[in-house]
Structure 1
Amino acid sequence: MNRLLERARRLEAEIVAFRRDLHAHPELSFEEKETARKVASEIERLNVPYRTNVGGHGIVADLKGERDGPIVALRADMDALPIQEEADVPFASAKPGVMHACGHDAHTAMLLGAIKLLKEQPFPGTVRFLFQSAEEINAGAKAMIEDGALAGVSEIYGLHNLPTLSAGKLATCHGPMMGSVDRIELHIQGRGAHGAIPNEGIDPVVCASAIVMSLQSIISREVSPFDPVVVTIGSLHAGMANNVIPDTAVLTGTVRTFGKKVQATMKERIERIAGQIAEGYRCKASLRYIEQVPVLENHDEPMAFVDETIDRTIGKAGRIEAAPTLAGEDFSVYLRHVPGCFFWLGSGPKEHAERAYGLHHPKYRLNEDCLPIGSAILAAIAAERLKHLQTSEKDGR
């Protein structure tokens, strides 16, 4: 298995060059047309069958092994973020206000590297490569699935770079790893008035302020302290003038949980608190609650296999236990359909990675030493897992 890593390191210059090109030319969610064109060109050069425009600008490529067997999928996301880059690198984004601040350029380059490695690696069955649009807006995985990306797939695997973990390290987590993601949109209806004559109006701003504070009582007084929950109001928009009480206020926010049962209760709780507080302030509140992605929960057998594969490929010392996080990932949608596993790949500096700029920061910077490691790990997981699955099928298990 270490030979895969050796071969990946021989491909490092190619993987790095492709990643830098994508980094310099980022594209937002569902706008990844040029990124997809570059990916398709590489896949075509490798003579691997593929189809385009899957779930937006997504690409699905199938690499068949030496004989028939199951299908194992590997996934990378391609979209960038609406962030102005501040990282001092020669290949910084050439597009104002758009940046690969989450490293999806690296994920894409690593998955192409895995294709190159597996082209020379004997394995049974088929490895399916999913290059996905729109992870950042929690829409791409659903769109890929609706377009048949998981048809026939037995298991799926994916990774995400982590700049606060040193390159050369990987982190895995058994069970729930990342939080569910829901969006809330609250509309508060009041009645406008002159700011100097508040008694003639019904102030939605005061009402909205009370709602923001009271929503935190869900976490402190309604949910068990052993059930992680976050309710964050990220925007509050009301009015245009300093001396006018507006008619309405609009709040948007995010809800994160770590369990299906708790997630299922959050809409009612937010609706009840917002509605009753609004009534107390003589306003009316209406809630739009949008469930975006579920909890990302790794499956036991695939997770154990990933641990074993990492240990055999880079050594057990290179693997640590990942701390769960309420950050979300739409890979969780795939895991609701087929078994699989998601894990972290260190992409930070060799020393003091914990001090590095994190994901989504304008000064985010990826240590490219992680690229061949990611390609090798993905290729090793797919090839070895297919061998295991085929043996299990023969044994009737």
Structure 2
Amino acid sequence: MPFGNSITKDKVIQVILETILQLRKKLHACPEISGREEKSKALLTDFFKQHTTLEIHPCGDGFYAAHREPGAAKPAIALRADYDALSLPDGNAGHLCGHDGHAAALCGAALSAEGKTFGRNIFFLFQPAEETGAGAEGCCELFAKETVHEIYGAHNLPGLPLGLVTTRPGTFACASRGVILYFQGKPAHAAYPENGISPAEAVGKLLCALPALSAPSRYTGMTMCTVIGVKMGEKAFGAAAESAEIWLTLRAEHDQDLASLFDEILRLSQNLAAEQHLSFSHQLQDVFPATENDPACAEKVLSLCQGELLESPMRWSEDFGHYLHICSGAFFGIGAGIEQPPLHTEHYEYPDALLQPTINAFLALMHS
């Protein structure tokens, strides 16, 4: 049954909070990795059908709920939440990044809009597959289906005071991409390595060159290259190495810097492979654009939420940047508590006490 206006405001707030607390626990109990969020999506869409009169529409592999006000004078906005979980080493999934809380809080904002007028249309966008960077691009379908003037999203931030809002004009979260470099040579007996072609020299030269290639003096903002791992040959002491893989994560404050760093690494890899008569190929994984806030939208968030300016970009990535390539908007963080464990660690769980502050932040934007 939709929430109406027949009970007091305080009672409505209490009922909404109790309802989304139960929803978060249900979402937390059925974590699903990126691209496989069938149960989570069903929970959320069923929740809207049970508790609201909002329209539900497919959007990429996610969906959005539409609050419409005919003849609304103010430009429409969209609010976004993700709902995928992390893949764990044991093959299971876990909500160790708090996306269960993100989705529940946005549901709370939508319930708060039930039967209310804001002078604008509001679209509540629910997106899968944020962790892999694959979800937002498809959900950009929203902008083809609806007229949206601005879009906003939030992420919980353990280590900051509970409820503290923080953001910045420009880059909030860095661009990143995973890069796999493949070098293929020729096999040989370990006693006669000269009869084969080993990738060892090319791999060694490339690894030594990476710090200089990612040096800050070469770019306009923070840029870095992290070696995730190297695999070369096999543990067979009678055989010389014939192939190698290098796994890198590239990060940058600006998209153009990330592209330049990638091009430099690719060019050097190709040259080293040619020098050593190796075949070479590469693969990209987990590609995220920079999340670059519109300055006016970021200032709006800081003003409405009495937030604090984030001095430098977050080094982690967020696929919300895909939306900001199309539409003005801003992404912001909300403190989850100073004593909370870090994101992506086994003991982290989105704190229920953060739901109401997050709803309040969304409501401030809805009323702006």
Q: TM-score, normalised on structure 1?
A: 0.82
Question: In the TM superposition, what whole-angstrom CA distance separates every residue of 1:223-264 from its partner, at most 9, and x where no partner exists?
Answer: 14x621111232333334332334321223221111233233
Q: 2:349 maps to what in 1?
A: 365
CA distance in 2, matches of 1:4, 1:306: 25
1:13/1:336 CA distance change after superposition, 3 Å: same
Kindly state the Cα deviation for residue 212 of structure 1 after the two structures are TM-superposed.
2.3
Say which of 282, 294, 298 aligns to 1:303.
298
- The reply to whether residue 51 of structure 1 matches residue 67 of structure 2 is no
| 8 Å CA contact retained: 1:72, 1:155 | yes
1:146/1:249 CA distance change after superposition, 3 Å: farther
CA distance in 1, matches of 2:230, 2:92: 23
CA distance in 2, matches of 1:162, 1:129: 21
1:152/1:290 CA distance change after superposition, 3 Å: same
| 8 Å CA contact retained: 1:49, 1:63 | yes
| 8 Å CA contact retained: 1:8, 1:373 | no
| 8 Å CA contact retained: 1:187, 1:285 | yes
- The reply to whether residue 346 of structure 1 matches residue 338 of structure 2 is no
1:184-263 equivalences under 5 Å are: 184-220=179-215, 223-224=218-219, 227-243=221-237, 244-263=239-258
Q: Aligned-pair RMSD on alpha carbons?
A: 2.6
Q: Name the stretch that deviates more: 27-36 or 276-285.
A: 276-285
Kindly state the Cα deviation for residue 346 of structure 1 after the two structures are TM-superposed.
0.9
1:213/1:151 CA distance change after superposition, 3 Å: farther
Structure 1 spans left out of the alignment, 5+ residues: 86-95, 312-317, 385-397
Q: 1:76 maps to what in 2?
A: 81
SS at match of 2:301: helix
Question: In the TM superposition, what whole-angstrom CA distance separates every residue of 1:150-183 from its partner, at most 9, and x where no partner exists?
Answer: 6311110000001121212121212211111223
Question: In the TM superposition, what whole-angstrom CA distance separates every residue of 1:126-150 from its partner, at most 9, and x where no partner exists?
Answer: 1101000111111111111146566
Question: In the TM superposition, what whole-angstrom CA distance separates every residue of 1:364-387 from its partner, at most 9, and x where no partner exists?
Answer: 233221111101211221222xxx
SS at match of 2:261: helix
Which letter does structure 1 place at the counterpart of 2:366? Answer: A
Q: 1:314 maps to what in 2?
A: none
1:290/1:43 CA distance change after superposition, 3 Å: same
Which letter does structure 1 place at the counterpart of 2:227? Answer: I
Q: Identity, % of aligned pairs?
A: 28
- The reply to whether residue 118 of structure 1 matches residue 107 of structure 2 is no
CA distance in 2, matches of 1:183, 1:50: 34
- The reply to whether residue 333 of structure 1 matches residue 328 of structure 2 is no
Q: 1:17 maps to what in 2?
A: 22
CA distance in 2, matches of 1:345, 1:150: 30
Kindly state the Cα deviation for residue 333 of structure 1 after the two structures are TM-superposed.
0.7
Equivalent pairs, count: 358
CA distance in 2, matches of 1:359, 1:7: 32
Structure 2 spans left out of the alignment, 5+ residues: 1-7
Kindly state the Cα deviation for residue 120 of structure 1 after the two structures are TM-superposed.
4.4
Q: Name the stretch that deviates more: 159-168 or 245-254.
A: 245-254
| 8 Å CA contact retained: 2:233, 2:243 | yes
SS at match of 1:47: coil
